Amino acid sequence: LTADASRGGRRRGNDQYAPVPLSFDGFDNPAAAQRGGAAASPRAVCVAALFVAVTIWACAALYSAAVSPHRPGDVSSSAFTADPDPSMTGRRVVWLMSFPNSGTSYTGKVVRMSSHMSTATTYGLEGAVNNQTGENIPLREDSTEGPFLSGYSNDHPVAPKYVQTKTHCGGRCCRCGPDKYLETLDSFEKQCRTGKSYLPKEDRKDSKKTKSSTYRRDIVQRAIHLVRDPFDNIVSRFHLEFHSFASKNKTDFLERYPNSPEGFAAFCKDMDENKDFSAQESKSRFITEDLLELFKDVPCHGEFYKYIQWHNLAFETTDRMRLPTLLLHYEDYDTDLKGTVNRLLSFLELSWVGRNTPDFVKGKTY
């Protein structure tokens, strides 16, 4: 994984960049199998393991090299500069694609505070609701299945053209086995457009208030691909689980997995030794015997597999859909907040109003 590849591309003519997945020559995954890819060779598995498992030091050093400063003028990190449908009328969806706990909420706040415009979300349960009907408020009148407005108010109207839209896509569950987190390119892309939303009050029966909604592919015209240091990202997912159980006063979880390095280690150990997950890994045609052997020395190995699979499929999805894509690193907010906000707003064709941004608290690193 070179610094150029981590930035999403290899140099092409006219200073453009072709998307390069965060993959490792032959690393086996469902998307590759779907396209007829061969099983991973021992060498390829070892290369993959180098990223995931050899040592924390080696992986941290690799990521540090990958977050080199942006190239001047590197606004779009993909080979595509024109929207798939330049003549499209109405508001256009710009996916904010992120593996959970990569800085999604902060990026949403940045856009709303700096531009005074609202954002949107694939997930209606966190979106704006029509008080009369109980339904979510769709971004487009011709797409009632989503996405839905979020952060909408008189002070934050909807942008006239590009609207940043949150999505976590698929293959992101926590404390789950391969049966639930392995994805193909098709299933991953569909999950990028799918979430729960509220039913109209008149259609609610037997306490059922929600439904699954999948919106059309053609209204998605751009993407922002958000990336965070894999180790910090995965530890942050543990923190989210801890706070979720704390809010429900689940004392068994809190006592077994305290919010500390020791608690995180115990959490990883139990997931790694889970018999159901291990059985699913052994039966999966996407996880080779060589990889299973390497998993034995990797804390939270399933989480690292999800992380790599997710970013591979995110790159492949935006490439297949020919989406102009901005590759954004979470750490950029810490090293160059002003420049990062400028790049983000420029990509969305929004103005920076009042120079307001939320305070950025990087949090712990591990």
Mean pLDDT value across the chain: 80
pLDDT at position 77: 54
pLDDT at position 42: 39
**pLDDT higher at 273 or 151:** 273
pLDDT at position 365: 60
**Residues facing residue 329 across a β-bridge:** 227
What stretches of the chain adopt beta strand conformation (E)?
10-11, 17-18, 92-98, 119-121, 148-150, 162-167, 194-198, 210-214, 220-227, 325-329
pLDDT at position 339: 95
What are the structure tokens assigned to 230, written together? 């894999």
State pLDDT tens for residues 294-344.
Answer: 898 899 999 999 999 999 999 999 999 999 999 999 999 999 999 999 999
pTM comes to 0.79
User: Is the pLDDT reported for residue 82 higher than 90?
Assistant: yes
State pLDDT tens for residues 44-78.
Answer: 333 343 334 333 433 433 343 333 333 333 444 56
**Residues facing residue 325 across a β-bridge:** 223
> What mean pLDDT do residues 132-154 have?
92
pLDDT at position 366: 56
pLDDT at position 153: 76
For residue 126, give the DSSP letter: G
The span from the CA of 363 to the CA of 106, in Å, is 12
> What mean pLDDT do residues 240-259 have?
82
User: Is the pLDDT reported for residue 239 higher than 70?
Assistant: yes
Q: Which helix (H) or strand (E) holds 352?
A: none
Number of neighbouring beta carbons within 10 Å of residue 10: 14
- Residue 95 half-sphere exposure toward CB, CA atoms < 13 A: 34
Q: Which of 165-179, 251-265, 341-355 has the lowest mean pLDDT?
A: 251-265
Q: Are 76 and 324 in contact (CB under 8 A)?
A: yes
Contacts of 263 (CB under 8 A, 6+ apart): 238, 242, 256, 257
Number of neighbouring beta carbons within 10 Å of residue 217: 13
Q: Is 10 helix (H, G, I), strand (E, B) or coil?
A: strand
List C-alpha distances in Å: 207 to 126, 137, 199. 19, 21, 11
**Which residue do the tokens 């190239």 mark?**
71
> What mean pLDDT do residues 221-241 have?
92
